[in-house]
Structure formats: structure tokens, C-alpha cells
A and B are shown apart, each in its own frame.
Chain A
Amino acid sequence: MNEMIQETLVGWSRSQFALTACYHWLFVPLTLGLAVVMAVMESIYVKTQDEFWKKAAQFWQKIFGINFAIGVATGIILEFEFGTNWSNYSWFVGDIFGAPLAIEGILAFFMEATFIAVMFFGWNKVSQRFHLASTWLTGLGATISAWWILVANTWMQHPVGMAFNPDTVRNEMVDFWAVAFQPMAITKFFHTVSSGWMTGAVFVVGVSCWYLLRGRNKRFALASIRVASVVGLVGILTVMFTGDRAGIQIAQNQPMKLAAAEGLEHGGAGAPFSIVPGIEVPKALSILATHDTEGVVPGIQDLLNGYTDNEGNVHLSADEKIRRGRQAVNAFAEYRKTVNKDSVTAIQARQTFEENQAYFGYGHIEKKEDLVPNITIVYWAFRIMIGFGCLLTLLLCLTLWFERRGTLAQKRWMQHWGVWSIPMVFLAGQAGWVVAEVGRQPWAIQDLMPVGVAVSGISASSVQVTFCLFLALFTILLIAEIRIMCKAIKNFRMED
């Protein structure tokens, strides 16, 4: 019974977090991407002094403004949830993330409040160059504000640079550099930000294609497509390069996530990459995960039963990790019980704890099957992200090609494709987060803290209430966003 209540609580708390994060992630990538497109257009204006580019930049700034206004502060809800729904997690990670996140938030807020105001109110009031700098800095401010939250997320995937203190029950930072600049964090930052550039670029291409379909604003639409396709292609190249790095890094640090993303039950050397069930490219997974055709990629069963990797290192079975994890949990409990009473037992307990600390989280895992994330979700999310990524790359190459040859305005099938790419790019980004987060399950912090321990001991019904409140609030915001944006897009006229 207790277990069922706990499962319901964890389920609702996770659903609520996923809901708010997914909604938040509709606004953020568009902000990041539109910022670049509008800044490039304004740069062209400042260089050429052609009023056409000024008007074009101003229109995309307006769309940026709508998205920014509606999306701003939706991320703060995630902070609320950390304190209310994930209080054990928040305490356990210590103050490390709270303070930098707050500083970053304040810095980004002031940067954005200043530069956005100059961007919107400053036309004809400040010099062209100062205005242009403000437009670029608006985008930079938004990008900076993504940094530390992604560092925190990376730490949950691969906790480094911290030491757990059993007295305070908190992690303490021992190596700031390792936390802030571990390779996974850098990869994640660029993969995420460049996926945002792609989102903004594809959005601009899509809206411009809509104008072409309607036979309106032709010059503006074609010029926007030209700029956005280039921005999008720079974005997708960065996305692919960093996506490849991310694959190697999760193969090393979160092999279960990779095995689930591939639905790979039994791995080994020369592992194939599954395109869809039943169609495989031989050895491709080994190449992706290890950059070696014969590299060993463990499957789900290998990870559960133990295996030997490329370097000959033996990896423990899940049962052994669970056994050591329970030793760590018991030793931790013993230490807490005896620390003020019996120093000899406490010292021994602490030593046992430290010896098995790497498996601490496994001590809470009931059975080894619980260590496998939902394969169907992770597998298909991975395919949606990569599949749509490939389709979008083709789209951007073709729109640029046809635009350069002067035939895009006649290609209605391309224009339809462009419009349909808008939902595609958003889905790709959402799917990326699903891979990263569902793929990490059952962990809140990889190997250290499962979600069942991270969750606050509050009633599931109160989480259900807030879930419904958020669903309503965010849906209203989204409808408002779409309506206001559609109106702005429909009403816009620019003579050719």
C-alpha cells in the first residue's frame, strides 16, 4: 500500500516537473534562435543602410518580444518545484546550485531588462551601433541564463566535483572547475543552445513560407529565408557535432541510457545502430558510441549482469551494485546514529560508507529491473530527435538552394514543407529532453539518488492539484502566445 502511494507521488511529481519543463522549453529555444536571426538582420541593416533590413529586423523583434513576454519567468516554476516537490534532492545537492542560479538569474534579468528596452524603445534614440550591440546583447543575456541550469542538469547526469558530507547530509563543492566545465556540460550547453538557433531559424523559414503560400510579403519572406537558412545550417552543424559528442559521453557515463535509446538488449563489439525496429546499420552504434567499428557497447542485459569494456575493465553486475549500495545506506544510517555517541563505531561506519559510496543510490533500488528506463519512450524520442534533425537539415539546404537559384517562390511543396517544419523542430527539441531525462531514470542524480528518494514526503493529491493548475495556466499562456503571434504575423505587410 505504502509503495503504491509512494509510486503515485513520484509519478505525479515527475509528471508535474515534466509538464512545466516541456512548456518552458517551448519558449526558450525560440527566444535563443530568434535573437540570432533578428541580430543578423539588424547587422545587415547597419552595414548596408537599407531600410528594408531595418523593417525586417523590427518584425522579427516583435515576434521575439511576444515570445519573450509570454515565456519569461516560466522557468521560475521549476525552482518552486525543487523546493516543494524535490526537497530531499534540493537539500542533498547543497547550496551549490542555488546561489549561482540566483546570481545568473539576476545578471541575465538586468542584462535583458536593459538591452531589451534599448532594442524596443531605442530605435532613432540611440546610435545605430549602440542599438545593434543591444540587440546582440539581448540574445547573449538569454544564452548566458541557460548556462548554469544546464551545468546543474549535467551534474545530475554525471555528478563530479562534489563531495558528500554525511554530517550535513549535503554535497559540498570541491572542484568548481570540474562542476562548471566538465566536458558533458560544455557539450550539453552547445547542443541545447544550437538546437535553439535551429528552432528560431526553422520558425522564421516556416512563417516566411506561409507568406509565400499566401503570395504576400515576397521579398521579405525570401530575404528572411536566406538569413534563417544560414543561421539554421550553422545551428544544425553544431547540433550534429555536439550530438555526436553527447553520444560518446553518455556511452561512457550513462551506458544504460544509450542502451535504452537503442533498445539494445545484448550488446558487444561491432554493435549495430537501429534506424527503426528491424532495420539496422551494422557496426554504426559502435562507431557512434566509441568511434571504433569494433568498440564494445553494452546492452541492457550486459549492464544488469556485468560486462568487460574495451579497456578490459570489469563492470559490476546490478545485483552487486545493489548489495554495495545497501552496505553504503546501512553504514550511513549507522554513522548518523553513532556519531555523537560512539566514536569507534562511527569511524568504522563512515569508512564502510566511503568505500561503497559510489553505489549509494543503488541501496534504494528494490530489484535490478528497476534500473532500466522506459525503453519505448527513450527509443522513439531518440529517433524523433535525430530523424527530424535530418529532415530539417534537408529542408534548410533546399530552401537555401532554391532561394539562391530564384525558384523558391514557385515551389509550393517546399513552402508547405517549410510550414510543417515548425512543429517538427519543436518536437525534436522536446524529444531531446525526453531522451536526456527519461533516459536517466530511475535516477534523479545518476547512481546517487533515485527519484523515489529525491521526492518530498508530501501528499500525492496536493501534487495532483498543482499539476492541474499548471496545466491550465500554461495552456492559457500557450494559447495567448499562439493567438497574439498569429495576429502579428497575419497583420504584417511589407511592400515588395
Chain B
Amino acid sequence: MASIEERLKQLADENLEVDGQPIGKLLDPSKSLFDLGLSSLDIVAFGKVIAQEFNVPLTPEKGAEMRNIGDLIAYLEANAA
């Protein structure tokens, strides 16, 4: 079974791009999604994809509590079904 980080990278490659480039390989736990150049609109949309894939509640307000991708991975590890 792929790790949560690997699944997130794959989801990012399938759903996100910045200036025409896929960004899965740039999903570094120390960075935030804003650091990768995503807009808040992209992040809200990606939050919905993640919520569905991992079967977790993930509202924009919950996302705003997370400082970086490491926090997101920790949240998914603790809550994913």
C-alpha cells in the first residue's frame, strides 16, 4: 500500500499544475501549498479531492490551521479511513 505522502503526490500530479507543470514531485513536507504557487482557489479545490480520496472531513478552515504539507500528512495519517 502506498504511503499517504506518495498518494498525495499522485493526487497532486493528477489534479494540479502551476504554470503548466505538474507539481507532485515538489510536495515537500516542509513547504506549504502556497509556496508551490497554488492559489487559494486551487487549494480549496484540492482539499475537496483529498477529502474524497481519504474519506476525511477537510474544510478550507481546517486547511488554514495547517502550516505546511507535513501538517496535512499528519492530519491524514491520524484521520484517514
Mutual binders A and B:
no
